[in-house]
Amino acid sequence: MTDTLFELVPVYGIWVIAAATYFSCLAVPVPSSLMMLAGGAFVASGDLALWSVALGAWGGAILGDQTGFAIGASGRGVLLRIARPGTARARLLEQAQRLLARRGTLAVFLTRWLFSPLGPYVNLLGGAGGLAWPRFSAGSATGEAVWVVLYVGLGYSFAGQITTVAEMTGDAAGLLAALAVLGLLGRTLWKSHNGRRHQAKTRTGSADL
C-alpha cells in the first residue's frame, strides 16, 4: 500500500498528500508523514511545487482535525465505539484525555507534531469534552503548520534518503509519545501517593486528638 501511495505523489501531488494527512488525523493508518517526505523530495527534484505540497498537507490535516473534533462533539458514545475498553486505542484515548485535561490548547498544538500518535484522540476528546472551538483551532492550525514544515522540509533536504529519514522520524515520534505517557503516568502515581500520605497523616492527627 505504501509503495502504491508513494507512486501516486508525483501524479496527483496535492490531492494524494491532502488525503493522507486528512485520514491520518482520523486515526486511519495512512503513512502521511512518508507522503510529506515524498512530497518534499519531489519538490527538490522539480516535479512538484513547494506551495502545492505544503498547502495540500496543511489543508488536509486541518480538515481532518476539524472532522475529528466534530465527531467528538456529536457524543461520547462515538468514542466508546471507536476505542473499546482494553484495546490499544482505548489506552491512547485515556492518555490523550489526561494530556488534554492538563494542557488544553498546548496539548492540541503538541499532538500535531511532537506527540502525533495521540493527535486523532485529542481531536475527538476536544469535541467531546467541550474544548472551545477557537482554542482547538488555534492549536490545530499552528501545530499542523509545524508538522508540515518539518516533514516537507526533511523530504526536501534529504531527497535521496527518504526511507531512512522516515524510519528515524517514526521511531522518534513513537519514543516521544511513550515518554509523554510515562511522564503523565508518573505524575498521576506521584499525586496519588502524596494524596494517600496526606490522608494517612490526617487520620493520624485526628487519632492523636
Give the model confidence (pLDDT) of 87-121 as tens digits: 777 777 777 877 787 778 898 999 998 888 889 98
pLDDT at 185: 46
- CA separation for the pair 107, 119 (Å, rounded): 9
Residue 119 · residue 25 · CB < 8 Å: yes
- C-alpha grid cell, residue 153: 522540509
- CA separation for the pair 142, 39 (Å, rounded): 20
- CA separation for the pair 112, 123 (Å, rounded): 10
pLDDT at 200: 56
Q: Model pTM? A: 0.74
pLDDT one-digit tens code per residue, 166-199:
666 654 554 455 455 445 445 545 555 565 565 6
Q: How many domains does the chain have?
A: 1
What domain range includes position 132?
2-208
For the chain, the average pLDDT equals 79
Reduced to 3 states, what is the DSSP secondary structure of residue 13?
A: coil
